[in-house]
């Protein structure tokens, strides 16, 4: 188990972000280790036939083990970074950082010396990094871009949920439902997925929390590198991402406020956009917008802008109605 000890300053230095480049690496890791990832089976079936040998520069760096080179997933500079910004940071990685991360990767018991594209990166990082970035761009267009609007909505909704939990309930509320392997204990964050025992006392670095679609059902973390530690955890409501259709609205509530509005309240288990609610319920975007306006006027939903997206959330009043 890994234990991170927080000071009061570290608690105020917790920040949140998601990362397109982390979704790329986590999705490649999922493709290489599909066991236990049945939730992503619809995506696997759609994407696998579209991928070819041109993916090798990325596959050589995401071998399916427990370590992904840090330079491949630079720390997000903003809560909602663009892929282009992250790829620019990747291309600018200093040679010594690339070689140091590759040394750590190949020192693992199940690894060997750098091979294939990893070997090219080690010998001459700059041109190999450019080739890697172009590979990632091509992979993104095939595997992630068609699904990114829905993924982004889910990720932005998670950021909204986590920041509200932190503001209203402190660290205990923030980590309470993040993942079974993540536990808050007083002033310590315990990560129980790590096989060996390790402790780190934070000295003002704080913590970066990154929701992810493809890290499910596990977690990734970077805690033994210099700088701010990072925990990447499964985004809330990830099971809704590949769903087609939805469960019926609660009958009793539908009889009072109407089927469409009851259905929308049920779907707002996690914050969602108008577009995402339309896809999941089968209602037209215009109908969803109209019903949300009525729910907003009745105090049953609230809206918040996160990045470029307007997200809707249930209010406590709506929760009480659904619990009846």
Instruction: Quick: pLDDT tens for 135-156.
Output: 999 999 999 999 998 898 889 8
Decide if 192 contacts 230 (C-beta within 8 A): no
Return d(Cα 314, Cα 303) in angstroms, integer: 9
Prediction pTM value: 0.77
> Coil, strand or helix: which one is 21?
helix
Q: What is the pLDDT of residue 112?
A: 57
- The residue count of the chain comes to 324
- Residue 94 — very low, low, confident or very high, per pLDDT cuts 50/70/90? very high
End-to-end CA distance of the chain: 40
Return d(Cα 209, Cα 179) in angstroms, integer: 12
Return d(Cα 7, Cα 200) in angstroms, integer: 12
Decide if 112 contacts 119 (C-beta within 8 A): no
Instruction: Quick: pLDDT tens for 262-295.
Output: 888 888 877 888 888 888 888 898 999 999 999 9
In the predicted structure, residue 19 carries a pLDDT above the cut 90? yes
Please name the helix (run of DSSP H) or strand (run of DSSP E) that holds residue 106, with its range, or none: helix 95-106
Helices (H), 247-284: 251-257, 259-267, 274-281
For β-strands 198-201 and 230-234, DSSP reports them as: unpaired
Helices (H), 183-306: 251-257, 259-267, 274-281, 285-297
Q: Which of 235, 269, 242 is nearest to 19 (CA)?
A: 235
Fold of 243-323: Arc Repressor Mutant, subunit A (1.10.10)
Taking all residues of the chain, what is their mean pLDDT, rounded to a whole number? 85
Return d(Cα 319, Cα 301) in angstroms, integer: 10
Domain ranges for the chain: 2-238, 243-323
Instruction: Quick: pLDDT tens for 23-60.
Output: 999 999 999 888 888 889 989 998 989 888 778 888 88
Q: What is the pLDDT of residue 111?
A: 58
């Amino acid at each position: 188990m890994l234990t991170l000890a927080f000071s009061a300053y570290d608690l105020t230095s917790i920040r949140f972000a998601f990362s397109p480049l982390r979704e790329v690496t986590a999705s490649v890791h999922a493709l290489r280790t599909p066991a236990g990832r049945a939730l992503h089976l619809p995506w696997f079936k759609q994407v696998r036939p579209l991928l070819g040998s041109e993916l090798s520069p990325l596959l050589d760096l995401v071998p399916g083990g427990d370590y992904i080179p840090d330079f491949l997933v630079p720390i997000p500079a903003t809560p909602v970074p663009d892929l282009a910004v992250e790829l620019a940071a990747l291309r600018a990685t200093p040679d010594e950082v690339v070689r140091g991360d590759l040394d750590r990767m190949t020192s693992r018991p199940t690894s060997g010396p750098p091979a294939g594209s990893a070997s090219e990166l080690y010998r001459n990082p700059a041109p190999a990094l450019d080739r890697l970035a172009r590979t990632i761009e091509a992979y993104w267009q095939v595997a992630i871009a068609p699904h990114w609007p829905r993924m982004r909505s889910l990720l932005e909704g998670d950021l909204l949920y986590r920041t509200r939990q932190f503001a209203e309930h402190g660290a205990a509320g923030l980590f309470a439902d993040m993942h079974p392997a993540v536990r808050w204990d007083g002033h310590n964050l315990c990560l129980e997925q790590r096989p060996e025992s390790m402790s780190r006392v934070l000295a003002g670095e704080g913590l970066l929390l990154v929701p992810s679609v493809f890290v499910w059902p596990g977690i990734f973390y970077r805690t033994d590198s210099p700088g701010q530690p990072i925990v990447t955890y499964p985004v809330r409501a990830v099971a809704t991402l590949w769903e087609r259709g939805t469960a019926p609205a609660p009958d009793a509530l539908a009889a009072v406020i109407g089927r469409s509005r009851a259905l929308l309240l049920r779907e707002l288990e996690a914050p969602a956009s108008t577009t995402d609610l339309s896809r999941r319920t089968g209602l037209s975007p215009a109908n969803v917008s109209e019903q949300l306006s009525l729910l907003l006027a009745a105090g049953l939903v609230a809206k918040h802008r996160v990045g470029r997206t307007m997200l809707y959330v249930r209010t406590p009043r709506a929760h009480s109605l659904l619990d009846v």
